């Protein structure tokens, strides 16, 4: 008798890189959510999530053939550096994003380190975005290498989300010599899970009715929006999987997870009502630092500003943010707050310019009337927000330290 303990197949139709047209056609009959009003009334959309494979590392391998097939880490090799991206060859050794570089080098002695080239990654990001926009105006970027697309009513009348996902993957391969993975489903939550399922160079479709089963055995840390701390808290409540989460009453989720509770409650059932938001308005990007001891001397202030520039610029890069206004904020020892802003005609495009504007604002304020306990720097007036100058940021920015 054959064993009854069959390996559980994820309810996801994966396609290998060269998935044949025949299998696509068969999938399409079932995969798409249908553009009819009935489906939409139930919150069903046709959503694709695209995510580039080992993005920074793949771009480095593309641009330097000597790196192809080798374990590559993008990031500094020094003791204080971390790996930003690891090629799939490097991942076989356990090398991962955010790992200290020294640990990565221990795991994989032949690891080749390359410094990041953000300008190139940004340019590629713009190119993939242009490809997406050929199929739908409803494109919501999540980071440089990924985006949600709502193709419920695609611009080319293709009708099949799976077909569109394959066309996009093929175009990324042909036009950019890079690979992307795609998830196709009826909402954002499931599409994002799906794009991760058959990485690299994979496609996964989660059809209507399959979401609940897909989520049931899913480790909770794979839920988009549940960070490492959230996962820890879940674990302390005995919630390890989507199924565990689905078993919790909404009241308990509200008590422990506040405003995220409704999202989690639905996600545990494969439901997500969030629309794909094109050109999501970005908040200003910034950061601030509160000092252990108040400072007032010019050299100390400049040094602190340099440090803040480094950290905030990294955030700007990550958020792919654009802005024309730099705002310097300082809180004096007596807690009074002062902000100074300067705008430039075109978006600030490099760190040196960002730093120079911040320093000019600081120099204008020296000497300070009293020591400060906090300094912050923000890039605002983000493109896509119209021509209006936004007010200086009123909301508290995330603390840097």
- Assess whether the previous peptide bond of 200 is cis (omega < 30° from 0): yes
Contact between 131 and 167 under an 8 Å Cβ cutoff? The reply is no
Q: Residue 337 phi/psi, 5° resolution? A: -115, 140
CA distance 142 to 224: 11
Question: Is 33 or 58 the residue whose CB approaches Mg ion more closely?
Answer: 58
313 binds ligand TTP (CB under 6 A): no
Q: Is 97 in the site for ligand TTP (CB under 6 A)?
A: yes
What is residue 15's three-state secondary structure?
strand
Span near ligand TTP by CB under 6 A; candidates 19-27, 46-54, 290-298, 336-344: 46-54
Backbone angles phi, psi at 85, to 5 degrees: -140, 145
Beta carbons within 8 Å of 205's beta carbon, 6+ residues apart: 12, 13, 27, 31, 162, 183, 184, 185, 194
Largest interatomic CA distance in the chain: 86
Active-site residue, from 60, 89, 140, 146 = 146
Q: At its nearest, how many Å lie between ligand TTP and the CB of residue 118?
A: 10
Pairing of strands 13-15, 203-205: antiparallel
Measure Cα distances from 198 to 167, 194, 205, 271 in Å: 17, 8, 10, 21
Q: Which of the ranges 54-62, 213-221, 248-256, 339-347 carries the binding residues for ligand TTP, by CB under 6 A?
A: 54-62
How many residues make contact with ligand TTP (CB under 6 A)?
14
Of 54-62, 204-212, 215-223, 256-264: span binding Mg ion (CB under 5 A): 54-62
CA dist 100 and 382 (Å) reads 33
Q: Which stretch binds ligand TTP (CB under 6 A): 47-55, 258-266, 301-309, 382-390?
A: 47-55
The 129-148 site mask, x for binding ligand TTP (CB under 6 A), equals ----------------xx--
Residue 84 contacts ligand TTP per CB under 6 A: yes
Place of tokens 């705008």: 343
Please choose which of Mg ion, ligand TTP, none residue 84 contacts, taking the beta carbon within 5 to 8 angstroms, the exact cut-off set by kind: ligand TTP
User: Position of tokens 């069959």?
Assistant: 6
Instruction: Give φ, ψ of 384 to 5 degrees.
Output: 95, -5
Binding status of residue 34 toward ligand TTP by CB under 6 A: no
**Residue with Cβ nearer ligand TTP (114 or 171):** 114
146 annotated active-site? yes
Q: List the x/- string, 130-149, binding to Mg ion by CB under 5 A.
A: ---------------xx---
Question: Using CB distances below 5 to 8 A depending on partner kind, what does residue 76 bind out of ligand TTP, Mg ion, none?
Answer: none
Taking CB under 5 A as the binding criterion, the range among 44-52, 304-312, 314-322, 340-348 that sits at the site for Mg ion is: 44-52
Give the span between the Cα atoms of 101 and 81, in whole angstroms. 6
Cβ at position 95, least distance to ligand TTP in Å: 11
10, 200, 275, 371: residue in contact with ligand TTP (rule CB under 6 A): 200
Q: Decide if residue 51 touches Mg ion (CB under 5 A).
A: yes
Q: How far is 184 from 157, CA to CA, in rounded Å?
A: 17
Across 19-162, the runs of DSSP E, i.e. the strands, are 47-52, 72-74, 85-86, 112-114, 139-143, 146-150
Select from Mg ion, ligand TTP, none the partner in contact with residue 172, using the beta carbon and a kind-dependent cut-off of 5 to 8 Å.
none
| Residue 151, C-beta contacts closer than 8 angstroms, at least 6 positions apart | 46, 47, 48, 135, 136, 138, 158, 161, 164
Q: Which does 173 bind (CB under 5 to 8 A by kind): ligand TTP, Mg ion, none?
A: none
Cβ atoms of 16 and 2 closer than 8 Å:
no
Tell me how far, at minimum, the Cβ of 126 lies from ligand TTP, in Å: 15
**Nearest distance from residue 151's CB to ligand TTP, in Å?**
21
The two structure tokens encoding residue 109: 């002695």
Q: Closer to ligand TTP at the Cβ: 57 or 276?
A: 57
- The residues annotated as belonging to the active site are 146
Question: Interface with ligand TTP by CB under 6 A: which residues?
Answer: 51-56, 84-85, 97-98, 145-146, 199-200
Question: Interface with Mg ion by CB under 5 A: which residues?
Answer: 51-52, 55, 145-146
């Amino acid at each position: 008798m054959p064993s009854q303990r069959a390996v559980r197949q994820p309810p996801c139709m994966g396609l290998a890189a060269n998935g044949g047209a025949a299998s696509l056609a068969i999938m399409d009959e079932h995969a798409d959510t249908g553009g009819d009003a009935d489906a939409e009334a139930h919150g069903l959309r046709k959503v694709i999530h695209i995510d580039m494979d080992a993005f920074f590392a793949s771009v480095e391998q593309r641009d330097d053939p000597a790196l192809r097939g080798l374990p590559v880490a993008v990031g500094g090799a020094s003791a204080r550096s971390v790996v930003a991206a690891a090629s799939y060859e490097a991942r076989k050794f356990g090398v991962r994003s955010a790992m200290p570089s020294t640990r990565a080098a221990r795991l994989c002695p032949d690891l080749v380190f390359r410094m990041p080239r953000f300008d190139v990654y940004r340019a590629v990001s713009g190119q993939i975005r242009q490809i997406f926009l050929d199929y739908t105006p409803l494109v919501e970027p999540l980071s440089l290498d990924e985006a949600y697309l709502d193709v419920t009513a695609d611009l080319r009348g293709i009708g099949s989300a799976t077909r569109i996902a394959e066309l996009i993957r093929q175009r990324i391969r042909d036009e950019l010599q890079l690979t992307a993975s795609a998830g196709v489903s009826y909402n954002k939550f499931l599409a994002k899970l799906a794009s991760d399922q058959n990485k690299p160079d994979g496609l996964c479709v989660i059809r209507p009715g399959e979401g609940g089963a897909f989520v049931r055995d899913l480790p909770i840390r794979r839920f988009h929006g549940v960070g490492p701390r959230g996962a820890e808290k879940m674990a302390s409540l005995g919630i390890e999987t989507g199924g565990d989460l689905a078993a919790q009453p909404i009241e308990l989720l509200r008590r422990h997870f506040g405003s995220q509770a409704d999202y989690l409650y639905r996600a545990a059932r494969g439901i997500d009502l969030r629309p794909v938001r094109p050109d999501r308005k970005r908040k200003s990007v910034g950061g601030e630092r509160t000092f252990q001891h108040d400072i007032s001397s010019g050299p100390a202030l400049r040094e602190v500003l340099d440090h803040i520039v480094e950290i905030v610029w990294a955030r700007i890069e990550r958020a792919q943010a654009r802005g024309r206004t730099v705002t310097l904020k300082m809180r004096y020892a007596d807690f009074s707050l002062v902000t100074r802003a300067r705008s430039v005609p075109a978006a600030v495009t490099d760190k040196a310019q960002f730093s120079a504007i911040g320093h000019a604002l600081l120099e204008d304020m020296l000497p300070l009337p009293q020591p400060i306990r906090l300094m912050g720097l923000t890039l605002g007036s983000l493109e896509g927000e119209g021509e209006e100058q936004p007010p200086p940021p009123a909301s508290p920015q995330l603390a840097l330290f």
